[in-house]
Amino acid sequence: MSAATMSTTDIMRFGRSVLVFLRRSIFGFIEYVHLSEDTFYLLVALLVGITAGYASIVFRFLIDFFQQQYCGPELLPALSLGFVPLWLKVFIGFCGGLTVGLIIYYWSGESRGAGIPEVMEAVALGGGRIRARVSVVKAVCASLTIGCGGSVGREGPIVQIGSSIGSTIGQILGVSEGRLRIMVACGAAAGIAATFNTPIAGVIFAIEIILGSYAMSTLTPMIFATVFATIIARIHLGEYPFIMVPVYSMVSVYEILTYLGLGILCGLVSLVFLKSIYGLTDYADKIPLKPYWRTAIGLALAGCILHFVPQIYGMGYDSISQALQGHLLFKTMLLYACVKVLSTAISLGCGGSGGIFAPSLFTGALFGGAYGVVMNELLPGQCGPPGAYALVGMGALVSGMTHGPVTTIIMLFELTGDYKMVLPLMIACIMASQLASRLKKESAYTEKLKRRGVTIDRGIETTIMGSLRCKDIHHKELPIVKAETPFQELATRVINFPHHQLYVTDDAGQYLGRINLEGMKHYLNEPERNDQLKAADVMEHGITVTEDTFLTELIRKFGIYDLEEIPVLSDDGLLKGVVSQHDVFRIYSLEILKKEPRGIKFLHRGLADGQMADYVELPEDYQLQSVQVAGNMVGKSCRELQIRARYNVTVLAIKSIFEDYAEDRDIPSPDTVLHGYHRLVIIGHKADLERFKKEMDLTEGE
């Protein structure tokens, strides 16, 4: 078949065959040279870092290209904008916004906005899976938004671009979910490191914002990725930071109080900034137009604002530099800061693609500089120059917006290379972050997820446990007695029952209370009363939970009341089961620690409330594995291979390594012809599985 007559399906199959061949070749090479697992993943992190480093360079080139088309190849775009007429600014903004809106609407909805919330969601709840197209679409949309007048930053997009690269490489290599999350974090860290020339801050950002937790197994590959991403950026862009910062120092130790006040101010300003962005988002969403028309109108309005205040164009690094140098007047800084907030809110609220990091730096620097002017007027000779307050204001406002003070402190310390301003940075950033999080729990990133019904708390562990409910793990086989059960029968059952606890219900199944050995001890010493006692006389009411109670709340109850198990009730008070601390620890291991699984989670449909899950623990030495079809299996069906009869191995599912493949089958058919792009989910005794894989020349998959 000629290339001209090849169908789209044929091309896709050819590409997938190449991908399968590439994956098998890589793993064959690993086996040949006897690479350890840790060494292999360090090499993968290196690949992610290098790729993300070059991606940041390409992304910066795209931004410069669109900006030069907009206002010419001038070193100071704000000056060139004065020669662009108002109608042309509005027209370019409208056309650019329409293009961005159409691409996002039809190609990649997750490319709207900063992109960091989508990465956080993918890491916490999506197993680290991000579509490969996101890196390309995000680069084009974000650079076009910035170039056509949108008041957004490039830092959020490069995080999403780097994360998409890390996820794509991980998926091509077929790594596990735990490792895939780390690859995503490596891409995010590498993107930040290459953009800001701050490798340490890149690692801290990935830990504090993306992963939400610290572990040595994640730290090492991220360091590897950021080092090589930074090297790539320095080779091609130089070793200078993205913005030059003068050297400042505190005038006296008492000046820490004025920086404390700056932290409070930035915390309040960050709330106003956040409210402006999402307030305009809500307003724009109510406009009865397609999303791409709203994006076009938004960037047209941003272009109109640029005509009157061109100094806020793009990331606004020129104005930030002037504020850091102390070259701007008080009224000018306030004007620029307020207009920047408005323009950013319009650009993002109407569906533009770009980050909030650079606008936060801009606004913080200008408000901080204005605050420094006031402090110098009130306390002459007792405060540092306004530029020092502009520097600290940058970090404080970003901390208030992102609730990530450690990242900001480290980043600005790397930028300045001077220890003298660390104390003001620390106190202001911590104060801004604490105040902002106290007044509003959600950050600029998690607020977007909350509006979609996704709650991401501190750490992946809390997030995952917060997504599971008691109905997902409770067991239904429990000792139930009626309220009229005699005492002697109760004593016998309590002593013989392993958990030493009985549950009392009425004839309709309504929960009444529970009985345990500890509570029956003093009745056992009064045999003359035992004949008259019933279950209703000796039961305790105790603590209960409902089926919809999240495991985070369940864990809190276990900790407060020191209980081994808690009964689970329906909304109308029926006893549905019981959940124990052992159940929670088992699920924690399965969902978070990702140890070798000895359990299966079965999802099935409930009558009204969607999916429910049951966990079934496997017998000793039995395993659930996913293997890549290869060798003797290709071109044959499960019936021809007689997998169950010959090897005592059961095929649970036949899946494609490509999620969007039309012939992906979750439910196996004995007559399905197996190809190299298929994976088999199999279960069996460990020895049988090894024999099956050896004879079929298979390798374990994801």
**C-alpha to C-alpha distance for 259 and 271, rounded to whole angstroms:** 19
**C-alpha to C-alpha distance for 159 and 422, rounded to whole angstroms:** 26
686 contacts 694 by C-beta, under 8 angstroms: no
**C-alpha to C-alpha distance for 401 and 429, rounded to whole angstroms:** 11
Q: What's the confidence (pLDDT) of residue 284? A: 84
Q: What's the confidence (pLDDT) of residue 431? A: 93
Q: What are phi and psi of 544, to 5 degrees?
A: -130, 165
**C-alpha to C-alpha distance for 226 and 194, rounded to whole angstroms:** 7
Q: What's the confidence (pLDDT) of residue 443? A: 82
CB burial class (10 A; 0-12, 13-18, 19+) of residue 476? Answer: exposed
**C-alpha to C-alpha distance for 145 and 156, rounded to whole angstroms:** 13
Q: What's the confidence (pLDDT) of residue 374? A: 92
Q: Which residues pair with 355 in a beta bridge?
A: 153
Predicted TM-score (pTM) of this structure: 0.66
**C-alpha to C-alpha distance for 254 and 602, rounded to whole angstroms:** 61
Mean pLDDT per 10-residue run, the chain (702 residues)?
A: 53 64 64 67 87 89 82 63 78 86 81 79 76 83 85 84 88 76 88 85 84 70 89 82 76 88 92 89 84 87 86 80 87 90 88 84 91 89 87 91 86 77 89 90 80 60 62 71 76 66 81 74 64 72 81 76 79 82 69 47 43 52 75 76 78 63 52 74 81 73 43
Q: What's the confidence (pLDDT) of residue 136? A: 85
Q: Coil, strand, or helix at residue 562?
A: coil
Report all structural domains of the chain as residue ranges with CATH numbers, in order of start. Answer: 14-237 (1.10.3080.10), 253-462 (1.10.3080.10), 468-613 (3.10.580.10), 622-700 (3.30.70.1450)
DSSP annotation of 619? P
Residue partners of 440: CB distance under 8 A and separation at least 6: 271, 274, 447
308 contacts 343 by C-beta, under 8 angstroms: no
- Reading the block at residue 468, the tokens are 């599971």
Cα within 13 Å of Cα(403), Cβ side: 21
Quote helix, strand, coil % in the chain, to nearest 5. 60, 10, 25
- Reading the block at residue 190, the tokens are 């590498």
Residue in 474, 50, 399, 454 with CA at minimum distance from that of residue 226: 50
Q: Which residues pair with 681 in a beta bridge?
A: 626, 653
Nearest 10 degrees: CA dihedral of 601, 605, 607, 610? 90
